[in-house]
Amino acid sequence: MAKLYFYYSSMNAGKSSSLLQADFNYRERGMNTMLWTAALDTRSEGMIRSRIGLEAEAHRFGPATDLHDAVAVAHENEGENAFGERGIDCVLVDEAQFLTPAQVWQLARLCDEAGIPVLCYGLRTDFRGELFPGSAILLGIADALVELKAVCHCGRKATMNLRVDAAGEPIREGEQTAIGGNESYVALCRRHFSQALAR
């Protein structure tokens, strides 16, 4: 039975590189994959890029994208894999926190009805420690939850994402979504996250 996976972590835990490694493993075995990333992240320009230099082209999803239908069409039209079978063997989704709840259910249908495994990679919480809507549904319905580990400056596991301004000072309020990398976010353990916000 195909499964819906959610690989989650704070920033800088290697989510994109893990996704790209999984994609490589499928393709090395002659299987067909379909990669997706959030259109909201304009830095990617239709690519999934890891901080260690790996990258691959990906389809882009926005709030109105019907992932079930898009993958189903590709599944019907994709050429034969190494086993003489047609279709998509695996769907991999980067920036899964930006999925809408409806899109998470669409991906679950791909697993349940089309038998296609779906691997989602994303943040669990935002800069306030609150769940992203897509992550909340994934945590609720995914068949497998896998935490990827990031490290706080103290050496403990980083579970929180501190948003910072250009001077490195904590930002306590604002929109849930603000695209950025190391210049905008710091992965911290809960203790140091709380201390930073209390300053």
168 burial type by CB count under 10 A (0-12 exposed, 13-18 middle, 19+ buried): exposed
The one catalytic residue among 85, 95, 173, 175: 95
E strands along the chain, which residues? 4-9, 33-38, 47-49, 55-57, 59-61, 90-93, 118-123, 144-147, 150-151, 157-158, 160-163, 185-188
Look up tokens 């994609």; give the residue: 23
Can you read off the two tokens belonging to residue 185? 């976010």
55 is a catalytic site residue: no
* 136 vs 20: CA distance, rounded Å: 24
Which amino acids are annotated catalytic?
Answer: 95
